[in-house]
């Protein structure tokens, strides 16, 4: 067995998702389909569209906050819509943080992602070649069999968790369709500004009239879920890789590829390990500072220190805010499901599903 990190199917799903994120302009990168790696987006339209996504999320964050304050001060504010408005504010806030982080830490996130992507590719190739290797004696065979067995259990668990994340990522937007159709007058939705709603009831609003607003709000939901999942996926892959290293599940010295080779992408590549982690000659971030973690620390060029420091450097804003914000969403939705199940049975479906999704990523 080689250094297979994920199953081939899971690896392909991860690559397809990253490619989709680039195509939707939700990340400021270009996906090279041949090399299977992220590259800096040189197309001005890619960067312009990403900036538009970021500005829309920031504008809608301010819009939701102002609408909540306005609605709370003008009269009765039903609990169900109050919960919905607060959850949407938190969702906008977390998405804005993720997109701002991608803008500010673009080079570092691309470096971390490519290190993990190249390791996934190396694992796939090594696993294919490893099937042709004959062991020298029975003792070595038994040792590697035991190590491979324990490694495969961890590999399968990681793959299963990622596929569960994919399932929830595609399930949530489907459920949100019913919410967007039933709540055109919710103050956190843009349609509430244009529709003359008595109280907060749906009224007799024709589908064609509210369809543009449903499409816009559905776009918001898709940006929410895809952006959150991308950040979670990178952090989860990085933490899983560190766990595998610490548990010594790579299967022996014969499979111990040098970290510099994964990052370089092969012996024929001219790109040096230091240049990749630095991000180029024009970057201010020095490789030594990244690996050292500070001026007073000793320079250690180990895989663990590089991935760990790079993950802390690139994902600091996400890691410091998402557990608090997502647990806030979980607690609010759980409270809403308990309070509103008699008056609105739909809350028993929507609120728990959204809570499970947020709790899954927060854990």
**Cα 327 from chain centre:** 17
- Count of Cβ atoms closer than 10 Å to residue 233 Cβ: 21
190 or 106, greater pLDDT? 106
Whole-angstrom distance between the N-terminal and C-terminal Cα of the chain? 31
The predicted pLDDT at position 164 comes to 85
What CA–CA distance (Å, rounded) separates 16 from 24?
Answer: 12
Q: Which residues, at least 6 apart from 212, have a Cβ–Cβ distance to it below 8 Å? A: none
Mean pLDDT of 297-322: 77
Least reliable range by pLDDT among 2-16, 29-43, 163-177, 294-308: 294-308
pLDDT per residue over 10-60, tens digit each?
899 999 999 999 999 999 999 999 989 999 988 899 999 999 999 999 999
What CA–CA distance (Å, rounded) separates 51 from 43?
Answer: 13
61 or 327, greater pLDDT? 61
Q: Which residue bears the tokens 């490893």?
A: 130
What CA–CA distance (Å, rounded) separates 165 from 159?
Answer: 10
Cα distances from 276 to residues 30, 113, 265, 290, 293, in angstroms, run 16, 11, 10, 12, 17
Query: pLDDT band for position 234 (50/70/90)?
Result: very high
Share above pLDDT 70 across residues of the chain, in percent, rounded to a whole number: 61
The predicted pLDDT at position 168 comes to 81
Share above pLDDT 90 across residues of the chain, in percent, rounded to a whole number: 26
Where does the chain have alpha helices with state H?
Answer: 8-23, 44-74, 79-104, 106-130, 138-182, 191-194, 207-247, 259-264, 273-278, 287-292, 303-314, 316-340, 347-362
Helix (H, G, I), strand (E, B) or coil at 254: helix
Helix (H, G, I), strand (E, B) or coil at 29: strand
Q: Which residues, at least 6 apart from 331, have a Cβ–Cβ distance to it below 8 Å? A: none
Range among 199-208, 228-237, 296-305, 341-350 rated most confident: 228-237
Q: Residue 124's closest CA among 248, 2, 267? A: 2
Mean pLDDT of 56-74: 90
249 pLDDT more than 60: no
348 or 16, greater pLDDT? 16
Range among 65-74, 92-101, 146-155 rated most confident: 92-101
Least reliable range by pLDDT among 36-50, 123-137, 140-154, 233-247: 123-137
Q: In sequence order, what are the beta bridge partners of 37?
A: 32
- Across the chain, mean pLDDT equals 74
Beta carbons of 260 and 303 less than 8 angstroms apart: no
The predicted pLDDT at position 191 comes to 79
3 pLDDT more than 60: no
Residue-range domain boundaries for the chain? 8-128+150-257+315-362
The predicted pLDDT at position 340 comes to 64
H or E segment to which residue 40 belongs: strand 37-40
Q: Which residues, at least 6 apart from 316, have a Cβ–Cβ distance to it below 8 Å? A: 101, 105
Radius of gyration, CA atoms only, the chain:
23
Give the pair of three-digit tokens for residue 264: 């370089």
Range among 1-5, 29-33, 154-158 rated most confident: 29-33
205 or 89, greater pLDDT? 89
Q: Which residue bears the tokens 């960067």?
A: 47
* Angle separating helix axes 303-314 and 106-130, nearest 10 degrees: 140
Cα distances from 31 to residues 16, 25, 98, 340, in angstroms, run 10, 11, 19, 45
Query: pLDDT band for position 190 (50/70/90)?
Result: confident
Give the pair of three-digit tokens for residue 162: 């990622």
User: What pTM was estimated for this model as a whole?
Assistant: 0.77
279 pLDDT more than 60: no
């Amino acid at each position: 067995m080689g250094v297979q990190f994920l199953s081939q199917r899971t690896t392909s799903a991860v690559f397809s998702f990253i490619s989709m994120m680039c195509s939707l302009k939700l990340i400021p990168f270009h996906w090279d389909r041949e090399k299977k790696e992220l590259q800096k987006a040189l197309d001005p339209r890619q960067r312009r569209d990403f900036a538009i996504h970021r500005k829309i999320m920031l504008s809608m964050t301010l819009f939701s906050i102002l609408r909540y304050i306005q609605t709370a001060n003008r009269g009765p504010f039903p609990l169900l819509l109050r919960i919905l408005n607060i959850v949407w504010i938190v969702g906008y806030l977390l998405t804005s943080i993720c997109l701002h982080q991608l803008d500010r830490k673009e080079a570092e996130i691309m470096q971390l992602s490519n290190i993990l992507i190249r390791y996934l590719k190396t694992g796939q190739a090594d696993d294919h070649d490893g099937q042709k290797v004959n062991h020298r004696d029975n003792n070595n065979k038994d040792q590697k069999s035991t190590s491979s067995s324990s490694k495969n259990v961890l590999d399968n668990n990681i793959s299963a968790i990622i596929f569960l994340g994919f399932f929830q990522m595609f399930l949530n937007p489907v459920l949100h369709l019913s919410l967007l159709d039933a709540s055109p007058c919710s103050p956190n939705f843009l349609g509430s500004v244009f529709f003359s709603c008595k109280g907060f009831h749906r009224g007799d609003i024709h589908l064609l009239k509210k369809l543009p607003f449903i499409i816009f709000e559905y776009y918001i939901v898709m940006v929410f879920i895809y952006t959150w999942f991308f950040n979670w996926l990178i952090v989860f892959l990085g933490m899983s890789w560190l766990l595998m290293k610490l548990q010594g599940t790579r299967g022996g010295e014969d499979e111990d590829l040098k970290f510099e080779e994964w990052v370089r992408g092969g012996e024929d590549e001219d790109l040096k390990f230091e240049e990749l982690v630095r991000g180029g000659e024009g970057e201010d971030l020095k490789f030594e500072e990244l690996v050292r973690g500070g001026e007073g620390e000793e320079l250690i060029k180990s895989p663990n220190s590089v991935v760990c420091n790079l993950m802390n450097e690139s994902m600091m804003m996400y890691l410091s805010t998402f557990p608090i914000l997502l647990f806030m969403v979980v607690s609010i939705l759980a409270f809403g499901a308990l309070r509103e199940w008699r008056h609105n049975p739909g809350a028993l479906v929507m609120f728990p599903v959204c809570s499970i999704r947020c709790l899954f990523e927060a854990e």
